[in-house]
Amino acid sequence: MFQTALRLIYPPRCLNCGGLVESDGGLCGPCWREMPLIGGTVCDLCGTPLPGEGEGLQCDACLRVERPWDRGRAALVYDGVARKLVLGLKHGDRADLVAPAAGWMALGLRGLVPEGTLVAPVPLHRWRLAKRRYNQSALLARALARELGLTCVPDLLVRRLRTPSLDGLGAEARFATLEAAITAHPKRAAQIKSRVILLVDDVMTSGATLSAATRACRDAGAAGVIVGVLARVAKDA
């Protein structure tokens, strides 16, 4: 009865446009049609949609740049409605997006992650965390772990140094800057050993941050690394 009363006061709204919908965490029909949800044939390393059919394929970007992780999936193409939702998650206070976003991410990752996998967010530096108040990747990691029935370790990885802004840096400089910054939490090293780690981030652009995080896991003895992102920036975006 409480639920019913609550529904009357706060009817479920579309995550994108705020129109009325049937259940929480959903989108209305028109917004669903515009949502670039990824399905079908994908790059096995970054989850970008690919034409044709096949398994274990790689997109041009992943063929060009070395990806130290084993497999990866993205829920959305970073475009249109998805872009708006990701930005809402990053800069606004759209905590209501976390659970549905984790649900979309789980679609591609279920069946890819073995039992006993540890879920960890890509770490945000402390001063950025303070400025933004929360790490959206940590929120996604926690919700995704719940969705997949896995354990989330929010502080598995930490940033050692203050990372300078990566804007304007070339790919190589980005990689070098990030590589030095991410490391396994000293207290978590024993936990990482021989485990598969599912690294979670909100957006994958160049993949530099995920590469650095993957190397930190491998240095700590992880048995494998799988990457899960909410949105993949398409190369022409």
Residue numbers at the binding site for Zn ion (CB under 5 A): 14, 16-17, 19, 28, 31, 43, 45-46, 48, 59, 62
Nearer Cβ to Zn ion (41/191):
41
Nearer Cβ to Zn ion (46/124):
46
Nearer Cβ to Zn ion (67/142):
67
Query: How far, in Å, CA of 55 to CA of 61, rounded?
Result: 17
Do 84 and 120 form a contact (C-beta atoms < 8 A)?
Answer: no
Nearer Cβ to Zn ion (19/116):
19
**Minimum CB–partner distance for residue 132 and Zn ion (Å):** 26
3-state secondary structure at position 22: coil
- 133, HSE (Cβ side, Cα atoms, 13 Å): 7
**Per the structure block, which two tokens stand in for 186?**
């000293």
Query: How far, in Å, CA of 213 to CA of 159, rounded?
Result: 10
**Minimum CB–partner distance for residue 228 and Zn ion (Å):** 14
Q: Angle at the Cα of 119 (from 223 to 73), degrees rounded to 5?
A: 85
Identify which of 157, 146, 154, 149 has the alpha carbon closest to the alpha carbon of residue 210: 157
Query: What contacts 87, CB < 8 A, 6 or more positions away?
Result: none
**Minimum CB–partner distance for residue 43 and Zn ion (Å):** 3
**Minimum CB–partner distance for residue 236 and Zn ion (Å):** 14
**Minimum CB–partner distance for residue 63 and Zn ion (Å):** 8
φ, ψ at 163 (rounded to 5°):
-85, 125
Nearer Cβ to Zn ion (17/234):
17
Query: How far, in Å, CA of 57 to CA of 35, rounded?
Result: 24
Nearer Cβ to Zn ion (28/234):
28
**Minimum CB–partner distance for residue 28 and Zn ion (Å):** 3
